[in-house]
């Protein structure tokens, strides 16, 4: 049994510590947590790959080096069977969820996320697991403080985080990494029960 775990984001220093790269941050955290192999560049996939095992379960970690809207090109060559599709986990940011919360879903639409849409098109299916990580601040009553308009959304997700925001995001990243570990070791139902909607302060 082998899981393929993908962290969506944009390559390049200018995108480090942006909200749109939180999926990438989670998979980088998993590489450290699980002590998998050093990252290697796979020129064919246009991705960084790290492999190893957690509690005897094989894992392949993938960071696409394509830009977000071309992520599918790095993933499709890895998924050749239904079994591989069932063990694909894609981790990404979501502006429809408050910061500190997440949703583990399967067989759901992209919600307009271009990286997810690219993967759906490349695989010709939505039937894989996604870990959607909230990146939008909320009011004290829990209402999303979501930017309005496409330009403002792009500015929001691609803007560098402040030092204080980076510290807040690190807690969310660690929480999401635990969720992925539960997905791999204990299954989707347990992970959804333990992590869906739970706020990490």
Catalytic residue numbers, as ranges: 20
Residue with tokens 């690190």: 170
Are 101 and 138 spatial neighbours (Cβ–Cβ below 8 Å)? Answer: no
Q: What CA–CA distance (Å, rounded) separates 4 from 85?
A: 9
**How many helices and strands (H and E) does the chain possess?**
7, 7
How many other C-beta atoms lie within 10 A of the C-beta of residue 149?
Answer: 8
Helices (H), 79-113: 82-86
């Amino acid at each position: 049994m082998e899981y393929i775990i993908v962290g969506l984001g944009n390559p390049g220093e200018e995108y480090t510590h942006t909200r749109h790269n939180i999926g990438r941050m989670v998979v980088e955290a998993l590489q450290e947590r699980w002590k998998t192999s050093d990252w290697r560049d796979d020129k064919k996939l246009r991705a960084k790959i790290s492999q190893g095992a957690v509690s005897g379960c094989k894992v392949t970690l993938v960071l696409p080096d394509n830009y977000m809207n071309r992520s599918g090109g790095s993933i499709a060559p890895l998924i050749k069977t239904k079994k591989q599709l069932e063990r694909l986990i894609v981790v990404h940011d979501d502006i429809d969820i408050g910061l500190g919360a997440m949703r583990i879903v399967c067989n759901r639409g992209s919600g307009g996320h271009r990286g997810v849409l690219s993967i759906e098109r490349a695989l010709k299916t939505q039937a894989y697991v996604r870990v959607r990580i909230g990146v939008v601040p909320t009011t004290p009553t829990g209402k999303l403080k979501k930017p309005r308009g496409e330009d403002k959304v792009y500015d929001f997700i691609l803007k560098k985080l402040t030092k204080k925001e980076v510290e807040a995001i690190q807690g969310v990243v660690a929480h999401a990494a635990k969720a992925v570990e539960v997905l791999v070791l204990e299954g989707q139902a347990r992970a959804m029960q333990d992590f869906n909607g739970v706020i990490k302060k």
